[in-house]
Amino acid sequence: MKDRRKGPISRAAGLAENMAATVRRMQREREPRVIVYDPSGYARLLQPEARGHARVMELAEDMVAHVSTEGEEAR
Amino acid sequence: MVETLTPERTPARLCELSADARAAVLLDAAGSLAGASDDDPARARALGELARELFEAVDKATRDWEVEPPQQVEVQVPGGAVFASRTPRWTLAVVARRAALSSLMLWDLRAVLGELDGAPPIRRARPAGIGRGPATDEQAAVDLPLPELGGDGGDGEPR
């Protein structure tokens, strides 16, 4: 069980820990990755070394680049 | 009167709903472009082609998995993210900003595809008290911007 923080310094340390964990989680979520979801919503990670992973990443990068170019041309 | 969502308007509808959506395309069951948020036909076709290839590549990569074929895909890349969702009739793909929340984007994709297949339209939430009478539970239920759950196999009736 997690110790309950009592003093103000302890509580501030707890807040800082939570913020750091949130930042780490957000960074992890933005890491390049491929996730596929089955009809029931169950998620599976396509491992980077798996066959076809590179092709999926390449296509997604092309799609993002396509839209980015579009935005630059519109300006 | 409630406006019916057409395939041509579906990608634009998704971009309206989600602030993080940058461009979207809708493909029919044959993989042909049925709608795009981009007005330029050549650009829309190119994005549609990439979206079609994306699901083909995903199917190829997951061919040996002993699970059902993927219904949704999320790909995070350095400059942004791509999300795609499909039904037996349609495939909807969107290029989103890097900050897009996966769960929300995937929800929006499903909701818009549901709307295209005849589910009630999703409405934006409005601040309470604007342009309506006193708030009631009934009004809140009508305004809830969520489609009904259990669309597959459920009878849609509240229990």
| In a shared domain, residues A45 and A70 | yes
* pTM (whole model) above 0.80: no
Q: What is the pLDDT of residue B91?
A: 95
B38 token code pair: 């981009």
* Nearest CA among B9, B15, B34, B113 for reference residue A67: B15
Least confident of A18-27, A32-41, B58-67, B139-148: B139-148
* B80 at interface of A, judged by CB pairs closer than 8 A: yes
Q: What mean pLDDT do residues B92-105 have?
A: 92
* Whether residues A27 and A37 fall in one domain: no
Q: A56 and A27 share a domain?
A: no
As for how many domains chain A has, the answer is 2
pLDDT confidence band for B151 (50 / 70 / 90): very low
Residue A75 pLDDT more than 50? no
Residue from the list A37, A44, A64 with its beta carbon closest to the beta carbon of B77: A64
Q: Name the strands in the sheet holding B72-77, side by side, starting at the edge strand that comes first in the sequence.
A: A43-46, A33-37, B72-77, B80-86, B90-96, B21-28, B33-36
- List the beta bridge partners of residue B81: B76, B96
Note whether residue B152 is domain-resident.
no
- Of the two residues A1 and B63, the one the predictor is more confident about is B63
How far is residue B68's CA from residue A42's CA, in Å, rounded to a whole number? 10
d(CA A12, CA B158): 47
pLDDT per residue as tens digits for the range B38-68: 989 999 999 999 999 999 999 999 988 888 8
Asked if the model's pLDDT at residue B150 lies above 60, the reply is no
Q: What is the CATH number of the domain that holds B49?
A: 3.30.450.30
The reported pLDDT for the residue numbered B67 is 81
Strands B21-28 and B80-86 come out as unpaired
Taking the C-alpha atoms of residue B60 and residue B90, their distance in angstroms, rounded to an integer, is 19
Total residues belonging to chain B: 159
Q: B98 CB near a chain A CB, below 8 Å? A: yes
Q: Which domain holds residue A1?
A: 1-31
Interface predicted TM-score (ipTM) over 0.85: no
Whether residue A39 is found in the same domain as residue A26: no
| Helix runs in chain B, H state only | 10-17, 41-61, 102-116, 137-143
Residues A27 and A11 reside in one and the same domain = yes
In this predicted structure, what is the pLDDT of residue B159?
44
Computed over every residue of chain B, the mean pLDDT equals 82
Per the structure, how many domains does chain B have?
A: 1
Looking at this protein, which amino acid is placed at residue A24?
R
Expressed as residue numbers, the domain containing B29 is 10-143
User: Does the distance separating the beta carbons of A66 and B47 come in below 8 Å?
Assistant: yes
Q: Give the closest residue to A52 by CA, choosing from B55, B12, B159.
A: B55
